[in-house]
A and B are shown apart, each in its own frame.
Chain A
């Protein structure tokens, strides 16, 4: 059986933690981070001294940017950690790269318990600068950044301009409609109603969606995730070491981290993105199939990305994403494949990547309270858009 040969299966999630999700939060970025990390360490039944690895994506860019104000370097001293391995950095398979890298560090034998975290304070930053955006060109003067230089001269200002072109192409090739795409935003909001921590909890109607203004056609304001201040932490443990914990270990059954196309937003498959490479790799590393998945947390930085991940992961047929989500019943909390059960980033808040892992574990452990789906043991998490794409298949033991 191929599953026995793969290193990631020896790694499990043993604890999760999350700070308040503020809009904005009165706490500092580091205070939010400590809240999340302490909660996760305690949830795993571990102590600070057990943590011997730290991973983050994208880590600290050495510029105090609200997109990622805290990295492993800052956290290690603040928590008094003694680590055998640590790492961060933007270049990798997207927002859950910290999970993938941390799992590999354990699998390689460098450490036993890795603290993976992600802190973001875009809400506080927007109190100061209304246009503070994550995916935008921040260079000064003539642009020499390796990919933005091909976009900014044409006033591609935000990532939404690029993702909107994926949506337009999907609409054109497969007949996807705006009423179908609306179901991503509507489903997330319906789920957020049951999540106390969600940023937006007022129910949303199709009319509300269609009335919301276009940002970059065919994407509207309600197709964009909502910034927040929050930190999320996940504990990864070597499986033998995980047996002592208080939670049933959630095994990393398979990882998808492939990129078989240029790292580019326009030179890749416009409706498959890097997600298709990453998802293909994931299924090659497991005996499970898409039919086994009980819940899916799929990146919704922009709504179209969730639809493209549904197709990339084979959770529905290629080109059939619109039909699959039509009416919303299949992807609702009580549907055949509940997605983004905490409200996703569209309504829950842009915790950016690890929020999906936190929610997947909450569901698998039956801790999701009013938004709990039917019990299940297999969940998939996928994050990123364009050339950013990482996914993991999680199995509760």
Chain B
């Protein structure tokens, strides 16, 4: 399935390329210890600039999802699942992704998932599959 790839910035680089080390990186503030996403040069909670991309477990659950049926472009493989994943590290720590390798009709809110990376060019997209263990 074709995908439009993101530009890399100083802040987003580890999020998009961490998959090369098979790790998901999410920005975290040193002083207040809170994670936040999308990555930025300052913590939105305490405004500290002591922030850094930090490896997380890559595990979480489906906060919500949708099964896309519309052929927006001819290059899409239909249907596919878009989801908002809430990571285990912190309540409300969310990112948008896809749930793959799973029958779309089987996806549920609350379903446990873990990250799996898909490399395209110099980007490792963090996608999610049903948790294995």
Binding site for B on A (CB under 8 A): 131, 136-137, 142-144, 149-158, 160-161, 164-166, 168-169, 172, 213-219, 262, 266-267, 270
Contacts and interface: CB of A to CB of B under 8 A. Distances in A.
Contacts of B37: 267
B68 A161 contact: yes
A125 to B, nearest CB: 16
A153 B82 CA distance: 11
Given A153-B125, A161-B68, A172-B109, A143 B80 contact: no
A217 B66 contact: yes
A153 B66 CA distance: 16
Interface residues of B, number: 36
A155 B78 CA distance: 11
B31 interface: no
A218 B9 CA distance: 35
A174 to B, nearest CB: 12
Nearest to B9: A144
Contacts of B73: 131, 157
A385 to B, nearest CB: 14
B67 A217 contact: yes
Given A161-B82, A165-B84, A143 B96 contact: no
B6 to A, nearest CB: 4
B99 to A, nearest CB: 10
20 contacts: A131-B73, A142-B5, A142-B6, A144-B7, A150-B6, A153-B3, A154-B96, A154-B98, A155-B82, A157-B68, A161-B66, A165-B64, A165-B84, A166-B64, A168-B66, A169-B109, A172-B64, A214-B67, A216-B70, A219-B66
Interface string B5-46: 111110010000000000000000000000001100000100
B125 A154 contact: yes
A169 B64 contact: yes
Given A155-B72, A165-B83, 15 more contacts: A143-B4, A149-B7, A150-B95, A152-B3, A153-B3, A155-B68, A155-B82, A156-B96, A161-B82, A165-B64, A165-B84, A169-B63, A216-B70, A216-B82, A217-B69
Contacts, number: 105
Contacts of A215: 68-70
A155 B64 contact: no
Nearest to A157: B72
A214 B68 CA distance: 8
Contacts of A216: 66-70, 82
A143 B5 contact: yes
A219 B64 CA distance: 14
Nearest to A172: B109
A27 to B, nearest CB: 29
A262 B68 CA distance: 25
Given A149-B12, A266-B95, A267-B94, A164 B66 contact: yes
A267 B37 CA distance: 8
Q: Pick the 9 closest A-B CB pairs, nearest first.
A: A144-B7, A164-B66, A157-B72, A169-B64, A142-B7, A165-B64, A217-B67, A149-B6, A152-B4
Interface string B43-86: 01000000000000000000111111110110010001011100
Nearest to B80: A155
Contacts of B97: 154
B84 to A, nearest CB: 5
Nearest to A131: B72
Contacts of B72: 131, 136, 155, 157-158
Contact of A153 (B4, B44, B68, B94): B4
A214 B67 CA distance: 9
